Amino acid sequence: MIRLFKVKEKQKEDAENNTGGTPVKKQCAGELRLHKDITELNLPEACKISFPNGQDDLMNFEVSIKPDEGYYQNGTFVFSFEVPPIYPHDAPKVKCKTKVDIFFLNFIHMLLLFNHAIKLELYTFESNLQVYHPNIDLEGNVCLNVLREDWKPVLNINTIIYGLYHLFTVMLDHSIFFAFSF
C-alpha cells in the first residue's frame, strides 16, 4: 500500500515538472461535456455568449438575447448560467439578470389582454432595463420546461438557449393570459 502512494507521488512530481511546476487540474465529467457543448454551439444571430470570469471558468457564463422580432424586439436580456458538476444529469441553473419592474409588468399585462397586436419597442439604457415576461418571475427565475421536468441528459446548452430565445420571439395565443389574470 505504501508503495502505491510513492508511485502516485512520483507521477504527480513528473506531471509538475512537465508542466512547469503547476499541477494539472483535473476536469470533472460535467466540465468535459460542457466544453463539448460550447464548442458545438449553433446560436441564432440574436444570441451571444460571454464568460465574465474568464475562459477558464466554463461552468459559469452569460447569454444575452436580443430578439429581432416579436413583442420584445430591440430589448436585450441577459441570463446567467450556473452549470453543476454533475451536468448533464442535472440541468444548469439559469437566472435572468435583466430586472423586472412590477409597474411595467401590469402595463404589459394589460396591453396583452386588450390589444395583442401592439408591438412593444424596448431599448436598453446604461441602467438595467426593466421588463416583464410571463415566464420570468421577480427574482429572475426562468420557467422553461427543459430546465425542470423535461430535462434529460441528452439535451444540451444549445437546447436551453434556443428555448430562451423562443420565449421572446414566439408569443403564445393571447387567450392564455385570461386564464392567469383572475
Chunked mean pLDDT (size 10), the chain, 182 residues: 55 65 67 91 92 89 90 86 93 86 53 52 43 79 91 95 89 47 38
Residue numbers of the domain that contains 103: 26-122+133-169
For residue 7, being part of any structural domain is answered with: no
Q: Check residue 98 and give its pLDDT.
A: 84
For residue 129, what is its C-alpha cell? 432595463
**Domain assignment of residue 20, yes or no:** no
* Cα 76 from Cα 74, distance rounded (Å): 7
Task: List active site positions.
Answer: 143
pTM for the structure as a whole: 0.68
Number of domains composing the chain: 1
What pLDDT does residue 150 have?
A: 92
Q: Identify whether 35 is part of a domain.
A: yes
How many angstroms separate the Cα of 168 from the Cα of each of 55, 98, 132, 135, 152? 28, 13, 11, 10, 23
Output the pLDDT for position 156.
95
Cell output for 3: 508503495
For the chain, report the end-to-end CA distance as a whole number of angstroms.
70
For residue 88, cis peptide bond before it (omega within 30 degrees of 0): yes
Give the CATH number of the domain where residue 94 resides: 3.10.110.10
Q: What is the pLDDT of residue 82?
A: 96
